[in-house]
Amino acid sequence: PLSLTAIIVGLLISKWNKPVMQNVLGVFVLLMACICLLILNVHTPWYIFFIFMVIMGLADGINLIANQALLNAESPLAQKGVSFGLFRTFGYIGAILSGSQLKTLFRNGITDQNFHHIGYYALYSCGALVVLLVPLVMRRKVIKVAA
């Protein structure tokens, strides 16, 4: 359900030509997914896991399109190649760091407590994303008022 939802939502969100709002929506759905990580445990029924996978698919599909659309809108034409290269590079660095984090947390096996640690780390990261999006949203409002 995660991949299928991400594909469908990615196709739908790409038609909405408001990259700042796409990112705000993406971070909101990602916050919901992080909260879900904190409530899942070994006794959670399968259908709750299914709903969680759909929420993760929503976050994945929205954020994949929204981040690239915002990067495309914000980078100067002469620096688009460099901007997208740095975007992918930092994505790969994040994947390497998260893999190391998973190895460290799950070295003695997967437990609910370790799984919830990942949820807390993801929640802190979402908080940082909210802080980083505030100036972008505020700038957008100032531009509308000035126009």
Could you read off the pLDDT of 2-57 as tens digits, one per residue?
A: 999 999 999 999 998 888 889 999 999 999 999 988 989 999 999 999 999 999 99
pLDDT, position 142: 59
pLDDT, position 12: 94
Q: Residue ranges of the alpha helices (H) in the chain?
A: 2-13, 19-39, 46-74, 80-105, 112-146
Q: What is the pLDDT of residues 107-125, one digit of tens each?
A: 888 888 888 988 898 899 8
pTM above threshold 0.75: yes
CA distance 137 to 116: 31
pLDDT, position 137: 80
CA distance 86 to 64: 15
* pLDDT (mean) for 79-95: 93
Categorize the per-residue pLDDT at 93 as very low, low, confident or very high, splitting at 50, 70 and 90: very high
Residue carrying structure tokens 């954020």? 63
CA distance 126 to 26: 10
Categorize the per-residue pLDDT at 133 as very low, low, confident or very high, splitting at 50, 70 and 90: confident
Residue 58 has pLDDT above 90, yes or no: yes
Q: Are 81 and 30 in contact (CB under 8 A)?
A: no
Nearest to 101 by CA among 130, 67, 125: 125
Judging by beta carbons within 10 Å of its beta carbon (0-12, 13-18, 19+), is residue 82 exposed, middle or buried? exposed
Categorize the per-residue pLDDT at 84 as very low, low, confident or very high, splitting at 50, 70 and 90: very high
